[in-house]
Amino acid sequence: MPNSWTLCYEEQFYAIAGLILVCGAKRLFSAAALVTVLTLVARHVCRSMGIDTHGFFIDGHWLLFAAGILVYHTVNYGTTKHKVVALGVLATSMVYGVLDRRMQTDHFQRHLDEYIFISSIFAAGLIVFRKWDRWLSELWLAKPIAACGRMSYSIYLTHYLLVVVLSCGLAMAGISTDGWVALLVVPVCIVAAMPPAALFHKYVEKRFMNAPAAKAKASGSTNSQPPVVRVAGVGASA
């Protein structure tokens, strides 16, 4: 199941999360922690035995989702003590990503360790800066990031082919060192990915998004019943 795209991992996450909810919704976070530990063990055991797990969540990609689950639990249910523990776990994850990368020669494994390191930093930042959310969101520097956030799924769906073509073309032109990739390739790819994502968001994604609450009130709707969300033609109460 070797995929160069991450959609396969998302589908596996949905399946595992759904299974956890069905079998033990009251132990959601404990079960997620258990899956995380088992994934970490499986990654190293399979790697030592030469078993190719590329494309399956046990190759280590589950750890990226685990960081997000940890953030959600911490900011919504955690105490100050939980926050300290969560930041300690994420700091350990950063160290793990750095050390494991240094010990690996396989490009895939090294790249995945970079993912683990960056996702841990991002997750820790979400926890630390949570209390300044409103102030940060009102900064003019945050406006472009907020715009990308609103159309993030469109960026995700449309960027891949364009970014691969651009990055490969620049690499063939000799621009492949880490420094040039960071200073030139990444900015060029980001700028190039925005227009098609914006068009997709405007003409496709927005048609399937819920109307803002303020807009719904302005329409004069007085229906006290919960709105009905239709997915693939099936109605369900939201």
Domain ranges of the chain: 1-132, 139-205
Q: Please report the pLDDT score of residue 39 as a whole number.
A: 94
Tell me the Ramachandran region of residue 130: left when phi exceeds 0, alpha when psi lies from -120 to 50, beta otherwise. alpha
Tokens for 137, please give them. 């969101």
- CA dist., res. 159 & res. 153, Å (int): 10
Q: Is-contact 93 149, C-beta < 8 A?
A: no
Rg of the chain over Cα atoms, rounded to whole angstroms, equals: 21
Q: What is the pLDDT of residues 56-109, one digit of tens each?
A: 889 999 999 999 999 999 999 989 899 999 999 999 999 999 999 999 989 889
* Structure confidence by residue, pLDDT tens digits, 145-200: 889 999 998 998 899 889 999 999 999 999 988 899 999 999 999 999 999 999 99
Q: Evaluate whether 158 touches 197 at the Cβ level (below 8 Å).
A: yes
Centre a 10 Å sphere on the Cβ of residue 198 and count the other Cβ atoms it contains: 16
SS (H, E, C) 175-231: CCCHHHHHHHHHHHHHHHHHHHHHHHHHHCHHHHCCCCHHHHHHCCCCCCCCCEEEE
With a cut of 50, say whether residue 1 has pLDDT above it: no
HSE value, Cβ hemisphere, 13 Å, CA-based, for 59 = 23
Residue 47 confidence class, pLDDT cut points 50, 70, 90: very high
Phi, psi angle pair for 223, to nearest 5°: -70, 120
Bigger pLDDT: 41 vs 138: 41
Nearest by Cα to 6 from 157, 146, 227? 157
